[in-house]
């Protein structure tokens, strides 16, 4: 199955490219700030399925550039979804736990009320609504805390800081499921294949790593597996202010994805080992 992927340098896009059988479009071929160009790229490629792995991901910067973020995260996916619906091909669109307000401690279900805390979450929610409203075969796949050996992410930041410092103060009141980009890529391809055969499986689903953990707990596991002697002190989010507020509860209920598509949550600890191997940190 020929799959067209929006995104080329992001974590999930690079893992999709590594699996083969896909065509990844970078910004030069399809700039998401031009939704019409995205629709045109789909018409030209005539793929069997489309995966949108591109987005405006600057959570803090989106507070200043919400209009641009809304075009990239909202309007462009809507244009993709409309074109896919017109051509009768499925779209898998990657979204985020930031569409929720992070309250409570229960895992968020796909049907729970949304309530984004900032511009990034609002623009991603706009994209979800545009995709689901287009009328074609689709899955909106919300995920969280994406990590890989590529680009900038928490694992790579901790490896760098852990070697530079004897101790770090890490937020401990934000809890979620770190999700290996490699697992997201595999899930997207599986969903795309099943949707092509059965568009009736369309809907919103969650996919995140297990077990749930705090950022501080995640950092400790990174240091332990990489053999880095760096102490971690737990701090509340209030002690690490950022322009955009982060959700405290990023736990995601992923049972629907397993029921409909047979895809289970990945163990992020195994994924972390793979990432450390890819980075040459462990044998």
Residue 71 domain-assigned? yes
Q: How confident is the model at residue 84 (pLDDT cuts 50, 70, 90)?
A: very high
Q: What distance in Å separates the CA atoms of residue 150 and residue 146, rounded to the nearest whole number?
A: 11
Which of 248, 242, 244, 247 has its CA nearest to residue 63?
244
State yes or no: pLDDT of 115 exceeds 80.
yes
Q: CA 38 to CA 54: how far, in whole Å?
A: 11
Q: What is the pLDDT of residue 20?
A: 86
The residue among 40, 129, 75, 107 whose CA lies nearest residue 25 is 40
Residue pair 172/217 in contact (Cβ under 8 Å)? The answer is: yes
Whether 52 is in a domain gets the answer yes
pLDDT > 90? residue 134: yes
Q: Cβ atoms within 10 A of the Cβ of 188, count?
A: 29
In a domain, 80, yes or no: yes
Residue 164 lies in a domain: no
d(CA 265, CA 208): 6
The secondary structure of the chain, three-state, reads: CCEEEECCCCHHHHHHHHHCCEEEECCCCCCCCCHHHHHHHHHHHCCCEEEECCCCCCCCHHHCCHHHHHHHHHHHHHHHHHHHHHHCCCEEEEEEHHHCCCCCCCCECCCCCCCCCCHHHHHHHHHHHHHHCCCCCEEEEEECCEECCCCCCHHHHHHHHHHHCCEEEEECCCEECCEEHHHHHHHHHHHHHHHHHCHHHCEEEECCCECCEEHHHHHHHHHHHHCCCCEEEEECHHHCCCCCCCCCEECECCHHHHHHHCCCCCEHHHHHHHHHHHCCCCC
In a domain, 240, yes or no: no
Q: What's the mean pLDDT in 25-35?
A: 92
Q: For 180, phi and psi rounded to 5 degrees?
A: -65, 130
Mean pLDDT of all residues belonging to the chain = 96
Q: Average pLDDT in the 235-247 region?
A: 95
Among this protein's residues, is 120 annotated catalytic? Answer: yes
What per-residue confidence (pLDDT) applies to 1? 55
For 50-65, the pLDDT digits (tens) are: 999 999 999 999 999 9
- The arithmetic mean of pLDDT across residues 243-251, rounded, is 97
* pLDDT over 90, % of the chain: 96
Give the rounded percent of residues in the chain with a pLDDT score beyond 70: 100
Domain residues for the domain of 93 are 3-152+178-209+251-267
The pLDDT of residue 275 is above 70: yes
pLDDT at 246: 96
Number of domains in the chain: 1
Tokens of 124: 């991603």
Quickly state the pLDDT bin for 217 (edges 50, 70, 90): very high
Prior bond of 137 cis (ω within 30°): no
Q: Quote the tokens at residue 26.
A: 């970078």
Q: What is the mean pLDDT of residues 74-79?
A: 98
User: Whole-angstrom Cα distance, residue 211 to residue 101?
Assistant: 21
Residue 262 within a domain: yes
pLDDT at residue 215 above 60?
Answer: yes
- Whole-number pLDDT of residue 168: 97
In a domain, 232, yes or no: no
Q: Write down the pLDDT at residue 47.
A: 96
CATH code, domain carrying 49: 3.40.50.720
Please answer whether residues 182 and 13 qualify as being in contact, where contact means their C-beta atoms are separated by less than 8 angstroms: no
Encoding tokens for residue 236?
A: 């509340």
Set 56, 98, 120, 240: catalytic member: 120
Query: Has residue 125 got a pLDDT over 60?
Result: yes
Residue 219 located in a structural domain: no
The per-residue pLDDT for 283 is 84
């Amino acid at each position: 199955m020929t799959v067209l992927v929006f995104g080329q340098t992001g974590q999930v896009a690079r893992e999709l490219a590594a699996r083969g059988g896909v065509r990844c479009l970078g910004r030069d071929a399809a700039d998401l700030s031009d939704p019409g160009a995205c629709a045109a790229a789909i018409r030209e490629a005539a793929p069997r399925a489309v995966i949108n792995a591109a987005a405006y991901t600057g959570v803090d910067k989106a507070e200043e550039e919400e209009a641009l973020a809304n075009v990239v995260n909202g309007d462009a996916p809507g244009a993709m979804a409309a074109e896919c619906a017109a051509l009768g091909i499925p779209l898998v669109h990657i979204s985020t736990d930031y569409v929720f307000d992070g309250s409570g401690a229960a895992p968020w279900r796909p049907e729970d009320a949304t309530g984004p805390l900032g511009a990034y979450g609002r623009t991603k929610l706009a994209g979800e609504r545009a995709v689901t409203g287009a009328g074609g075969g689709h899955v909106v796949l919300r995920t969280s805390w994406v990590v890989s050996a590529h680009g900038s992410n928490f694992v790579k930041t901790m490896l760098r800081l852990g070697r530079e410092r004897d101790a770090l103060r890490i937020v401990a009141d934000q809890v979620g499921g770190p999700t290996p980009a490699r697992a997201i890529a595999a899930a997207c391809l599986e969903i795309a294949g099943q949707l092509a055969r059965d568009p009736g499986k369309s809907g919103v689903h969650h996919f995140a790593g297990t077990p749930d953990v705090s950022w501080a707990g995640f950092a400790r596991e990174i240091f332990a597996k990489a053999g880095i002697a760096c102490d971690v002190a737990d701090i509340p989010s209030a002690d690490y202010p950022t322009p955009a507020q982060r959700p405290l509860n990023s736990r995601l209920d992923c049972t629907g994805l397993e029921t409909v598509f047979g895809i289970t949550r990945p163990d992020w600890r195994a994924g972390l080992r793979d990432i450390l191997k890819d980075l040459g940190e462990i044998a």
